[in-house]
């Protein structure tokens, strides 16, 4: 879908016009304006606990609707933001927005909730990263355990830089999970040395879990590995009931995917998950 043509050229198919646009400077300019005008929005996707059927954790996912190009996927604009350095301001905006949102929920009496934030490697290596999170926790008077940081295996390379950052986050009481687990350079070594709380099995393994023996074996093994290391394991991209059954049978802790819900805006989330618990009935 997305082709990167050198640093300054992204070619992407526009959902609305169904045509190819090859001018990236335009996209970059549009993204800059969207940030300035506060046009990025966060959606939230629930993670369902396999034991209780409850959704108490949600992943925050960025959404951007451009006036001209329509909806642009984060898979397109996040890499662009990383290349241009815009990821720092976007990333800080995401962190602050999530903290503000949790405070709003806290004020409504919702306390046992955790929101996962995706963190880009560039963002994490920025000296201000941990102090900024600390500042936001204080500003919005949050319980740090209501925050989760999702890192990818790509972050793990530079262990000298990353390990102290992760330990600081851990000390603050923030939950740390590894996103897209199994797709990067998964070294078992880092599971031993990094203060990780959870593993998110990448959706590429889940997709054909029912038909592909290898995917089934890999997924089962990751779940057992995670369990024996005391980690919480969550499966991403779950779309079918049979996938849910498979994952529950092999002891997966949590499930995230379209089967339960797509990422949804705040008002919908409040209606569906925070005021009642219809999901409980679906699973149990």
Nearest approach, Cβ of residue 152 and ligand C2E (Å):
7
- Pick one of Mg ion, ligand C2E, none as the site partner of residue 237 (Cβ within 5 to 8 A by kind): ligand C2E
Among 199, 257, 264, 279, which residue interacts with ligand C2E (rule: CB under 6 A)?
Answer: 257
Nearest approach, Cβ of residue 109 and ligand C2E (Å):
27
Does residue 265 bind ligand C2E (CB under 6 A)?
A: no
Nearest approach, Cβ of residue 68 and Mg ion (Å):
26
Find the part of the chain contacting ligand C2E (CB under 6 A) among 101-109, 125-133, 241-249, 255-263.
Answer: 255-263
What number of chain residues touch Mg ion (CB under 5 A)? 5
**Which x/- pattern, by CB under 5 A, does the window 167-186 give for Mg ion?**
------------xx------
Nearest approach, Cβ of residue 250 and ligand C2E (Å):
18
Tell which positions 110-139 bind ligand C2E, by CB under 6 A.
Answer: 118-120
- Burial degree of 131 (CB within 10 A; 0-12, 13-18, 19+): exposed
Q: Which residues bind ligand C2E (CB under 6 A)?
A: 45, 61-62, 73-75, 78, 94, 118-120, 179-180, 203, 236-239, 256-258, 263
Name the site residues for Mg ion (rule: CB under 5 A). Answer: 118, 150, 179-180, 236
């Amino acid at each position: 879908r997305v082709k990167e043509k050198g640093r300054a050229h992204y070619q992407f198919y526009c959902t609305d016009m169904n045509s190819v646009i090859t001018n990236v400077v335009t996209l970059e300019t549009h993204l800059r304006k969207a940030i300035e005008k506060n046009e990025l929005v966060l959606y939230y996707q629930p993670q369902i606990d396999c034991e209780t059927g409850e959704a108490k954790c949600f992943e925050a996912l960025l959404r951007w609707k451009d006036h001209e190009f329509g909806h642009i996927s984060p898979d397109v604009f996040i890499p662009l933001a990383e290349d241009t350095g815009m990821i720092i301001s976007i990333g800080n905006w995401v962190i602050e927005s999530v903290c503000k949102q949790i405070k709003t929920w806290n004020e409504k009496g919702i306390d046992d909730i955790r929101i996962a934030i995706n963190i880009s490697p560039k963002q994490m290596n920025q000296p201000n990263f941990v102090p900024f999170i600390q500042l936001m926790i204080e500003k919005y008077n949050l319980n740090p355990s209501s925050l989760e940081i999702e890192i990818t295996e790509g972050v793990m390379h530079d262990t000298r830089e990353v390990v102290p950052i992760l330990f600081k986050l851990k000390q603050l009481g923030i939950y740390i999970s590894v996103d897209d687990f199994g797709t990067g350079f998964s070294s078992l070594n880092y599971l031993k040395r990094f203060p990780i709380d959870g593993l998110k099995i990448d959706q590429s393994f889940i997709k054909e879990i029912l038909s592909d023996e290898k995917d089934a074996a890999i997924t089962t093994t990751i779940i057992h590995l995670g369990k024996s290391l005391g980690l919480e394991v969550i499966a991403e991209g779950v779309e079918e009931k049979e996938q849910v059954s498979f994952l529950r049978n092999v002891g997966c802790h949590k499930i995230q995917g379209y089967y339960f819900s797509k990422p949804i805006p705040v008002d919908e989330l409040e209606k569906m998950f925070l005021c009642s618990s219809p999901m409980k009935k679906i699973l149990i």
